[in-house]
Chains A and B, each alone.
Chain A
Amino acid sequence: MSVLSLKNISLTLSDKKILHNINLEFLPGKIHALVGPNGAGKSSLAFTIMGLEGYRKFEGDIIFKGESLKDKSIDQRANLGITLAWQEPARYEGLTISSFLEAAYSPEKGFKPEEALLKSGLQPDLYLKRAVDKTLSGGERKKIELASILAMMPQVVLLDEPDSGIDVESLDRIFDAIKILKKRGSTVILITHSLKVLEHAEDAFLLCCGHLMEKGSSHSMCRYFKGKCMPCDHQNVPEAADAK
C-alpha cells in the first residue's frame, strides 16, 4: 500500500510540457530514487508534489494517505507529513540555526534541534547561535537543512540532490541521516545524478524529458550512469523526445 501516489501527472510551464502522464507509487519506509539527466523533470516533479509556487496547476492527482493534495497549500502538505529539501537551500539574514530548527521541530516525532544537528554532522555548540546566512558554506547549509528534516521527521521527504556541495567525508553523515529517516518509518525520495546516492536507494525511477522511462531496482538503474541516457535513444536531446 503506497503512502504517496502520483496519478497521471502532467505539468506545463510557460507553454512547455515539463511532465507527461507520470504515474508513480512511493511505499512507506522505503528509499526511492528519481534519476535522469538535466532537464528530465525530476526537480519539477518534487516541486509539484510539495506544491511550490508555479507548480500548483497540474493535470492528474497526487494522493497522500488516501487524500488528494491538489488544493492543499505548502504548509498544509507539510502538516500532513511531506517536506522538501532544496538542492540549494535558502539563506536567511539574522535567523539563527536554533530558530530555524525550532520552526521545524515536531516534539512528538522529531529529534530536538541539538540532537538533529549532531546527527547531521554539526556540533550544536558551534552552530546553534549562528545565523543561517551566507557565512555558512554550501555543505554546512545542506547539513542544517537535513537537521531541520530530522527535527520535523515527516512521513515523506523529498531530497533534491542531497550530495551536491558536500565533501566525501560529510556524505556519509548525510547517508546516516537518510538511514535514520528510514528507520523511523519515513519514505525518502532521493533526486539525484549521483551513482553513489542511487546505491543507497532500494528502487529507482528513470525520468527523461518529462517521461517516466523505467522503474526498477536501484541496481538495475545503475546502468543509466554507465555512459548513455538509456533506455532513450535520443541521448538527452529534449526536442528529439518531444518529436517522437
Chain B
Amino acid sequence: MPNNDALRLYKTAHIDKALDDPNTAHLTISHNKVISSQSLPGLNVIPKEIKDGVDIKIVLEEGVVIKNPVHMCFGMLKQEGIQRIILDIDIKPKASIFIIAHCIFPNAVKVQHLMNGKIKVGEHASYTYLEKHIHADSGGVEVVPKARVMLSDYARFKTDFELLQGRVGKIEIDYETICLAHSVMEMTSKINGSGDDIIKIKESGLLEGEGARGVLTSRVALRQNARAEIFNKLVATAPFTRGHVDCKEIVQDKAIASAIPIVEVRDPKAHITHEAAIGSVDSKQLQTLMSRGLSEEDAVELIIQGLLS
C-alpha cells in the first residue's frame, strides 16, 4: 500500500488511477527512499537505497514485451535536498518496454536532481523513455540528467524529455547514444523556460553501424531573462547511415538562445542533414491567429503550446 508521499506524487503526475492496474509496473522514489514498487514477469527492477538517492538496476529479459507503460516516479516533496538516481538498464534482445519517468518537485526551493544512466538495448529490442518534469513555479530545481546509451544491431531507442509545467530552474542534459548496424535512435527535448532559467542541452549520436539512423530534435521556448544553449551533434562513420538534427527555439523579451548543430560525416555513403531556427514567433502564424480575433499575447501562447506539444 503506497504511503502519503507516494499518493501525493501520483496525484501530481495524474497517474494514481493507472497504478491501480495490476498489469502496470511501477517504481516510486521519494528523495532517497523506495516507497512503492510493482514488477511484472520478465521485468526485474532492483532498487538500492544510497545516501542521497537510489541506485536502480532494471533488466528486461529476452523476448519479453511489456504492453503497458512502466511508471517511475522520481520525486521530492521537500523544499531542499539532493536526489541522485543511478540507472543501469539492460534491455535484452527482442524485448520491448516503454518507461515514463515522472520527475516531480512541486515545492522545490533548492533541490538538485542528478541522474546518471547507463542503458544497453539488445538486438532487435525496443526501449522508449519519456521523462516528464513537474516543477515548482519558483524554479528552485537543478536538473542534471546524463545518459550513455548503446544500441545493438536493429535496436530502437526513443527518448523524450519534457519540462513544460512549472519553472525550469537550471537544467543540463547530456545524452550520448552509440548506434550499431540498422539501429534507430530518436532523442527529443521540449522545454519551456522563463524567469532566469538556464537550459543547456547536449545530445550526441554516433552512427557507427551500417544503416543506422538517428534524429536529434530540440524545441525550446524562452521568455523574460531565460537562456538556452543547445549543442546537438551527429557523427556518421558507416555507410548508409542517415541522420537529422532539428532545433527550433522561440525567443521573447530579453531571453537569449544559441544553437550549435554539428554534423560530421566520415563515410561517403552516409547522409546527415540539419536545420536550426531561432527567433521570435513567425509573423504569418501570429497574424493569422490575430486575424481570427486572438490578442497578440494569446496567439503567441498558442503557437508556443503547439511547438512544445
A residues near B (Cβ < 8 Å) are 50, 52-53, 73-75, 77-79, 82-84, 86, 89-96, 99, 103-104, 106, 131-132, 148, 152
Is B303 within 8 A of A75, CB to CB?
A: no
CB contact under 8 A between A152 and B282, given known A99-B302, A99-B306: no
* Complex interface: chain B residues within 8 A of A152 (CB): 292-293
The smallest C-beta distance from B74 to any residue of chain A, in angstroms, reads 26
Q: How far is the CB of B57 from chain A (nearest CB, A)?
A: 36
Q: Judging by beta carbons under 8 Å apart, are A83 and B291 in contact?
A: yes
A148 close to B292 (CB less than 8 A): yes
Residue pairs across A and B with CB atoms within 8 Å: the count is 72
Are A90 and B288 within 8 A (Cβ)? yes
Q: Does B295 contact A (CB under 8 A)?
A: yes
In the bound complex, how far is the Cα of B290 from the Cα of A83, in angstroms?
9
Q: Per a CB cutoff under 8 Å, which of A50, A93, A106 touches B307? A: A93
Interface residues of B in 251-309 (CB under 8 A from A): 282-285, 287-296, 298-299, 302-303, 305-309
Q: B residues within 8 A CB of A90?
A: 282, 284-285, 288
* A89-B288 in contact (CB<8A): yes
A96: chain B residues at CB < 8 Å are 306, 309
Complex-state Cα separation, A106 to B294, whole angstroms: 11
A sample of 5 inter-chain contacts (CB < 8 A) reads A78-B290, A78-B291, A78-B293, A92-B303, A99-B306
Main secondary structure of the interface of A (DSSP, over half): mixed
Within 8 Å CB of A83, what residues of B? 291-293
- Report B-chain residues with C-beta under 8 Å of the C-beta of A93: 219, 248, 306-307
How far does the alpha carbon of A90 sit from the alpha carbon of B288 in the complex, in Å? 7
- List the B side residues contacting A94 at CB < 8 Å: 305-309
Taking CB atoms, residues of chain A closer than 8 Å to B307 are 93-94
A2 CB to closest chain B CB (Å) equals: 21
Interface of B is mostly: helix
Which of A74, A77, A79, A99 neighbours the largest number of chain B CB atoms within 10 Å of its CB?
A74
Q: Which residues of B contact A (CB under 8 A)?
A: 219, 248, 282-285, 287-296, 298-299, 302-303, 305-309
CA distance A77 to B293 in the complex (A): 8
B295–A75 CB distance below 8 A: yes
User: Could you tell me if A95 and B306 are in contact, using CB atoms closer than 8 angstroms?
Assistant: yes
Is the beta-carbon distance between A53 and B289 smaller than 8 angstroms? Answer: no
- In the bound complex, how far is the Cα of B294 from the Cα of A83, in angstroms? 12
Q: A103 to B289, Cβ gap below 8 A?
A: yes
* Known pairs A53-B283, A92-B285; A75 contacts B306 (CB<8 A): no
Are A75 and B285 in touch, CB under 8 angstroms? no
A74-B290, A78-B290, A90-B284 are known contacts. Are A95 and B295 too (CB-CB below 8 A)? Answer: no
Whether A131 contacts B291 in the complex (CB less than 8 A), given A53-B283, A90-B282, comes out as no
Instruction: Check A50–B291 contact: CB distance below 8 A.
Output: yes
For the complex formed, measure the closest distance between the CB of A93 and the CB atoms of chain B, giving whole angstroms.
5
Contact across chains for B303 and A74 when beta carbons are under 8 A apart: no
Interchain nearest-CB distance for B215 vs A (Å): 15
Question: Inside 8 A of B302's CB, which chain A residues have their CB?
Answer: 95, 99, 103
A92 and B286 CA atoms in complex are apart in Å by 10
- Shortest Cβ gap from B21 to chain A (Å): 25
Which 3 A-B pairs have CB atoms at the shortest separation, nearest pair first?
A95-B306, A104-B292, A94-B306
A78 B292 Cβ-Cβ under 8 A: yes
One of A53, A84, A92 near B306 (C-beta < 8 A): A92
Closest residue of chain B to A52, judged by CB? B287
Of B248, B289, B295, B307, most buried by chain A (CB within 10 Å of CB) is: B289
Q: Residues of B contacting A106 with CB < 8 Å? A: 293
Residues in chain A near residue B289, CB distance under 8 A: 103
Checking B282, B285, B290, B309 against A73 with a beta-carbon cut-off of 8 angstroms, the contacting residue is B290
How close is A41's CB to chain B, nearest CB, in angstroms? 19
Least CB separation from B302: chain A residue:
A103
* A104 & B248 in contact (Cβ 8 Å cutoff): no
Nearest CB to that of A145 among chain B residues? B288
Contact across chains for A79 and B293 when beta carbons are under 8 A apart: yes
Q: How far is the CA of A92 from the CA of B301 in the complex (A)?
A: 12
How distant is the Cα of A104 from the Cα of B248 in the complex, in angstroms? Answer: 26
A75 close to B294 (CB less than 8 A):
yes
Question: Please, which residues of chain B bring their CB within 8 A of the CB of A75?
Answer: 290-291, 293-296, 299
